[in-house]
Structure 1
């Protein structure tokens, strides 16, 4: 597919980043008749490009398809300095962004997630209510083709999905029996992977390799869910376009963006409004790098909060080995079932807020080996390796993530010495797991182990903290009503720059404990509708 590169001198809207939020914003605006240009520093990736359709895929994903940009080191990437971080963020630069690597879990936030200050006396409330998001969640589900089962008692009444849920399979049924015996909540997993053909998406063939790329084109990554449609709607998408800064005019309005192509040639794309969609690390990096006499500390940063309050959803897991076959190579990887039993604050806990966990298949024998890395040498290598590998088909794992409350000390800054290949400062991530999160993780691991034992596992292996998961990058340009304590308002518009918007996980006030992509896309839909309704009021660029 050819990517058009002829762009207007002044677009109605410039979108920076072609991931899920950029894809949704561009879709709403282009279908509403606006002239949209999107700059994406990555390239198109087709399903046949992924190594997951080859027998040696677990070896191939170690470098070129690694989850971390500093390991891949391909032209589309920029390095990320993580020496002072407990977790290394998962990111990918391409049309579709990091959704090429996501497991496609598609849960919504719960109502309490928007009112954490009111409910639990910590963090801050969101500047919008849960009913204000419902329409946008529903619209996103219909556009993406979400598979799930309505009626989950953990959510308000009325929630349903366009497609039926995926089969639980042997591992899901085993997990369900165990959770039933404990009396814990569970529900079939909700995923943005079609259980029947949907639009451009093939029916899922259950390969289970979702987090390393779907080789069948059966996952609603943003390239397939949005961008094939956006090009038909007239969006001009420019790939290989690394944005250096958002440029402002003398009045402090966003004029457009300065960007560099793969040949090192500098360009500027002008627009009447700019929407930044570069994830919780990339958006902070771009805003901090966009300095000028009017914005010496970075664009939209009068609060000093750009880059701060980074939330990464610390993740833990427990592998269970069973006597029976679990079909653990059969996907989708997202989750066969999910439990929100311990989602809300409880008086008997020594921490606030809670967690979400799910039962997952476990494709690949090398993944099985890697999960056992924490064991003593003699329990993994030598004769023991045969038992470890042989147990693969009889295993599945529970993984969960905790409600990672915002702390200003967890932040993204510009590294003083590290740059990308065009000399643009790289982001430095400083992130430490808080005491509250460590208590949550310890509780979570015990519960995951308990769930396996209740389901009949003959042995378990614990992973108390996954340092390379997940790719949930939230909070670095938070929304709010007060410009002194937030970066954007409830519509995603920057307090300091009237025609600058942010439409990714950066705007989260709190993170909840569920996977954030459904909420990111719903907020992007909301922002798109707002911008479309107010487009005629946007001032022309001089």
Structure 2
């Protein structure tokens, strides 16, 4: 059921078993599975119910409610990071305030995180779970996303495409699957033939979380408000949601802000810290002179099969496509003390794993929004010496490996690359998972340390970024969270 918050009476109280705040892939995945199991679920979204037009229709509200201050690396490259609108013609974009969240613009690129991503190593804290713990959930995520199975090995895909796996010294060949276009937007796609808005979940759009009311280690209720249709918008109604369990699924920036606004889960000053991303260079900064791959190897990296004698982009009946990347092996990452990165076979942008930095963070700004009077966001994005080492070491490793195959690699300096880096839409960290409450915000089950019924979903819980796009792991963790909540409530 889909309804609008402004139609809910002022002062009303809504009782539910689970309330999920945020309707991106994290929130909708958990909501779908919970309602399917017979759990009473309320899913709230601050934005409207559908995107449309050339620009994000939430722009008037988002420019007011998501505004704030973005500094550090943002000052040079993305000063409007917090409120960048959605542009259907193709980027730039960052955050969404609409039903479906960032699934409205993601490209569907999917691959699990690597085992090393969960391990503690110099500069990277490790997770309180390992890759093996997530294996069955990755399989379920692949099924939910209608991928072409859950096998991402290059050898399997070389056989499917009748191609060959390249061999670069010090590098793994990694394969990514892309969701079919009909399944990208989680608000409009169907699950078992039904959209989330037509399911048994109570979906309320135009419902902005104002306050998390907690007492003695438990969330007692959520204060929620709607907006009217005026320009600029004003508060219309205010109501309360009382739930046995609450899940924040608003993205890494807003998850942290909501906890800070209510002074929840921050006993050890960890909320908002370790804001990370996958920094992406502005255009081509790496060039390759000469050929270093055979035609069958090139086809694997481009996700192409032969039709007659002609290479053609492969896709299956659900529209799934594939492509390949080169990434340093786990052994090389450990040996060099660096993060991971991508190298495209025939394209020179650079994309890498940012190291956790406690001073790269979300805090509250001194300014307040003009609709609800809440403090706005102050976000500081800071890179570190380890990020510089990652760039220098991985490009040298790539240069050496490609040189062995008879080609040359040319790279811009780190200083030149750094000044053009953008976040690239992947917002990670700020409520990271940890076994020790002094080192993070949520535990291995995504429950906020010190509270018995508040959980956080999404990539804000990642302890490190890895190099894979985060959404597939976000969906995976939400499946795991939904099953955990079912267990707590005695659902099958």
The separation in 2 between residues aligned to 1:343 and 1:181, in whole angstroms, is 10
The separation in 2 between residues aligned to 1:347 and 1:101, in whole angstroms, is 31
Partner of 1:464: 417
Unaligned runs of 5+ in 2: 82-93, 229-234, 291-301, 305-312
Partner of 1:484: 438
Partner of 2:138: 137
Q: 1:141 to 1:334 in 2, by over 3 A?
A: closer
What is the SS of the residue equivalent to 1:218? helix
Partner of 1:370: none
1:241 aligns with 2:207: yes
Partner of 1:375: none
The separation in 1 between residues aligned to 2:396 and 2:53, in whole angstroms, is 36
What is the SS of the residue equivalent to 1:429? strand
Partner of 2:240: 268
Deviations 1:162-221 (A, max 9, x none): xx98x89xxxx9xx89x6688954344312x23xxxxxxxxxxxxxxxxxxxxxx53423
Q: 1:254 to 1:308 in 2, by over 3 A?
A: same
Q: 1:267 to 1:122 in 2, by over 3 A?
A: same
What is the SS of the residue equivalent to 1:498? coil
The separation in 1 between residues aligned to 2:168 and 2:478, in whole angstroms, is 40
1:312 aligns with 2:262: no
The separation in 2 between residues aligned to 1:13 and 1:475, in whole angstroms, is 24
Greater per-residue strand proportion: 2
The separation in 1 between residues aligned to 2:475 and 2:177, in whole angstroms, is 15
Q: 1:336 to 1:132 in 2, by over 3 A?
A: closer
Residues 421-432 of structure 1: pairs in structure 2 closer than 5 A: 421-432=371-382
Alignment size in residue pairs: 433
Residues 52-201 of structure 1: pairs in structure 2 closer than 5 A: 64-65=55-56, 72-75=59-62, 78-86=66-74, 88=78, 90-115=94-119, 117=120, 120-147=121-148, 150=151, 152=153, 185-191=172-178, 193-194=179-180
Q: 1:82 to 1:420 in 2, by over 3 A?
A: farther
1:529 aligns with 2:483: yes
Q: 1:16 aligns with which of 13, 21, 24?
A: 21
CA contact (8 A) 1:123 1:406 kept: yes
The separation in 2 between residues aligned to 1:25 and 1:347, in whole angstroms, is 34
Quote the offset at 1:266 in angstroms: 2.0
Partner of 2:261: 289
Deviations 1:15-48 (A, max 9, x none): 00000110111012111111111110122335xx
Deviations 1:113-170 (A, max 9, x none): 111x2xx34432211122211111111110111247835169xxxxx89xx98x89xx
Deviations 1:419-468 (A, max 9, x none): 36332222111111111112223455667789999899999999824533
1:356 aligns with 2:342: yes
Q: 1:251 to 1:185 in 2, by over 3 A?
A: closer
Q: 1:498 to 1:458 in 2, by over 3 A?
A: closer
The separation in 2 between residues aligned to 1:334 and 1:406, in whole angstroms, is 33
Q: 2:323 aligns with which of 318, 332, 337?
A: 337
Residues 447-462 of structure 1: pairs in structure 2 closer than 5 A: none
CA contact (8 A) 1:356 1:514 kept: no
The separation in 2 between residues aligned to 1:275 and 1:38, in whole angstroms, is 9
Partner of 1:54: none
TM superposition score normalised by structure 2: 0.75
Q: 1:222 aligns with which of 172, 178, 186?
A: 186
Query: Relative to structure 2, which stretch is displaced further, 78-87 or 239-248?
Result: 78-87
CA contact (8 A) 1:105 1:335 kept: no
What is the SS of the residue equivalent to 2:327? coil
Deviations 1:405-426 (A, max 9, x none): 2121111001112536332222
The separation in 1 between residues aligned to 2:380 and 2:457, in whole angstroms, is 23
TM superposition score normalised by structure 1: 0.69
Query: Relative to structure 2, which stretch is displaced further, 5-14 or 492-501?
Result: 5-14
CA contact (8 A) 1:445 1:464 kept: no
What is the SS of the residue equivalent to 1:222? coil
Quote the offset at 1:339 in angstroms: 2.4
Partner of 1:256: 221
Query: Relative to structure 2, which stretch is displaced further, 91-100 or 30-39?
Result: 91-100
Partner of 2:365: 415
Quote the offset at 1:102 in angstroms: 1.7
The separation in 1 between residues aligned to 2:380 and 2:424, in whole angstroms, is 16
Residues 316-327 of structure 1: pairs in structure 2 closer than 5 A: 316=281, 318=284
Residues 503-518 of structure 1: pairs in structure 2 closer than 5 A: 503-518=457-472
Partner of 1:57: none
Runs (4+) off by over 6 Å = 319-323, 330-335, 446-463
